[in-house]
Structure 1
């Protein structure tokens, strides 16, 4: 993968998506990534981290020698790990469906990891729902900007007593009446 590769081609892979989700505004070493993703083999993790670095999604912010090996500290790079509207609009239906199913698959896998958590207090942090909204394109941009601003203070991983949660958003236009869907 290179910096010229579309972000969707880089990020919308289940392992790479999980790697990117670990950062959330913080820096991590490759050892910390291995601890956070114990089900991903070391070779697979390094291969996907390398693809993310090559694409500019992750950046190496520090390297240090530890027992003869180089340990890298990584952070989100100069390319946002977010597929923008232009890229989504350029995808054909099959690619868009595949990207969405990759996202849903990782969301489901994250839910399975939550269910495996032996801490009963974790249940107080789970929730899901759906709300219909009636918006223009400008309204949607305002909502998304407002959410970014609202959530910014909660992206600090070092807040005392804070527990990490994953907040996923999905925006899908409602099909007008009479539009056939696959069943």
Structure 2
């Protein structure tokens, strides 16, 4: 399992998001999807993710005297180890959450910048709800949401389907009582 430092770096997070539930991509294809990331930066962060085992090479072919690799995400490696999460300080959580929310904002900005973006017609949703739950109910709710989303992760691209990014943020309204 990966660490928060590895996964929650802004550039690495964007690379992983581009690869989630996508066909394997080459670095060149990733650069096309993420043109604002400098090539040297892209190569460096792909190397870090591959070395850590988060990305795996699924194909290699020779192109003009160099080797072009295709990468995909190893799903089991993009979860922060529970022990690593438990060891995070408040400052670590603040930095991780800031990176996560900045990534969400970047995704939304890129969506809005596209020609023809129409949040209403495209089904953009951002909501917040307060729910009273004990620990057992909370655990069950998170599992239900994860099950509902992961059951659809392998859907084919056909039949008019649109790739959508789902993000879950759960924050207690107040600290737990001892």
Kept in 2, the 8 Å contact 1:56–1:79? The answer is: no
**Cα distance 1:140–1:86, how it changes in 2: closer, same or farther (>3 A)?**
farther
Q: Gapped runs of 5+ residues in structure 2? A: none
Counterpart of 1:147? 145
Is residue 55 from structure 1 mapped to residue 55 from structure 2 by the alignment?
A: no
Kept in 2, the 8 Å contact 1:59–1:76? The answer is: yes
Counterpart of 1:130? 128
SS at match of 1:72: strand
Q: 2:27 aligns with which of 27, 30, 47?
A: 30
Is residue 43 from structure 1 mapped to residue 40 from structure 2 by the alignment?
A: yes
What value does the CA root-mean-square deviation take over the aligned residues? 2.2
After superposition, give the CA deviation of every residue in 1:74-128 in whole Å (9 maximum; x if it has no partner): 1112642122443222111111101100101111111111121111445422120
Kept in 2, the 8 Å contact 1:14–1:102? The answer is: yes
**Cα distance 1:35–1:158, how it changes in 2: closer, same or farther (>3 A)?**
same
Runs of 4+ in 1 over 4 A off after TM superposition: none
**Cα distance 1:100–1:120, how it changes in 2: closer, same or farther (>3 A)?**
closer
Measured after TM superposition, the shift of residue 158 of structure 1 is 2.2
SS at match of 1:22: helix
SS at match of 1:173: coil
Is residue 8 from structure 1 mapped to residue 4 from structure 2 by the alignment?
A: yes
Q: Gapped runs of 5+ residues in structure 1? A: 178-183
Rounded Cα–Cα distance in structure 2 between residues aligned with 1:122 and 1:154 = 22
Tell me the TM-score normalised to structure 2 length.
Answer: 0.86
Kept in 2, the 8 Å contact 1:28–1:74? The answer is: yes
Counterpart of 2:65? 68
SS at match of 2:19: coil
Tell me the TM-score normalised to structure 1 length.
Answer: 0.84
